[in-house]
Amino acid sequence: MAGRGGIDRRPNPVLTVLGALLVAMFFSFPYLLMFVSSLKTREEITKIPPDYFPAVPQFGNYVSVWSSDVVAPGGSLLSTTVISLGATLLVLLIATPAAYYVARFRFPGRLVFLFLVLITQMLQPTVLAVGLYQEFSSWRGYLVWVALILINGAFNLSFAVWIMQAFFASIPKEIDEAALIDGAGRLQAMFKVSLPLVWPGIVTAIVFVFVNTWNEFAAAFVLVQDAGLQPLTVSMPRFLGMYVRDWQYLFTTATVAIVPVVILFALIEKRLIGGLTAGAVK
């Protein structure tokens, strides 16, 4: 309560809820519009002025897309999932010990190393498309998935190392030293003592790498020539032909594509918020 004669500076709960609803509606609107458009016919989507809601919801669009010869969403979804999970796992296996070592040891060139790690964020697959094609053009069949896992892992590794070393550095070294005195090895101290304390940072890295790989287009477009192995980002535009543009099927496929990402966020929401707000309160 406010003191006598003082001003109550607590936020009004009604205004807080209304503000949160407005923000949620603002960011949810494009996805709701995409879902509603996926239930329209092509004539309704191209109609001017447009109707915001379909006269009759076309849930059959999802059946048509799933059995389409133009795009095989099942295969594309499997491709995207395998590549995203593979790249995320690869980054975690490499970035975790690297971030721990950088945070715990002061070695010559440490700042230069961190600076170079940060610089690599300036390079994107689009810039290196020609070089990537020359390097991996001979990788055919399912090997192209391995190539994309390596490429996406390499381009997301720097961020994971940077963010995770900051979390490791925030943990007092005395915790690890106590474990070492008790007879634990360095790896045991890292996995059993430090890792449980930096889960918010690990989850933040997981989400960043997974979503970046899920949305990657340039490298997949250049390397994957087999339509049955292409990820969703490459296969979806095939609904936009030269003469016929099936926007309703494009919106349908895009709606299907975001479902796994939404599920991932729902499962790790609490951990993610903890990672994003770490250090906000002293």
Q: How far is CA 134 from CA 60, 120, 121, in A?
A: 42, 20, 22
| Distance separating alpha carbons of residues 163 and 279, to the nearest angstrom | 13
Q: Which residues pair with 240 in a beta bridge?
A: 245
**Are the CB atoms for 42 and 246 separated by under 8 Å?**
yes
Run means of pLDDT, 10 residues per run, the chain, 282 residues: 57 79 86 86 80 82 76 80 92 88 78 74 72 81 89 86 83 78 76 79 86 87 82 79 69 83 76 52 42
Q: What are phi and psi of 245, to 5 degrees?
A: -120, 105
pLDDT at 281: 43
**Would you state the structure tokens that stand for residue 157, as one six-digit string?**
């590794």
pLDDT at 280: 43
**Are the CB atoms for 102 and 161 separated by under 8 Å?**
yes
Q: Read off the pTM.
A: 0.78
- Structural domain 65-276, CATH architecture: Orthogonal Bundle (1.10)
Peptide bond into 231 cis (omega under 30): no
pLDDT at 89: 93
Helices (H) and strands (E) in the chain, counts: 14, 0
Cite the residue boundaries of each domain of the chain with CATH code 1.10.3720.10. 65-276
Sign of CA dihedral 122, 124, 127, 131: positive
pLDDT at 91: 92
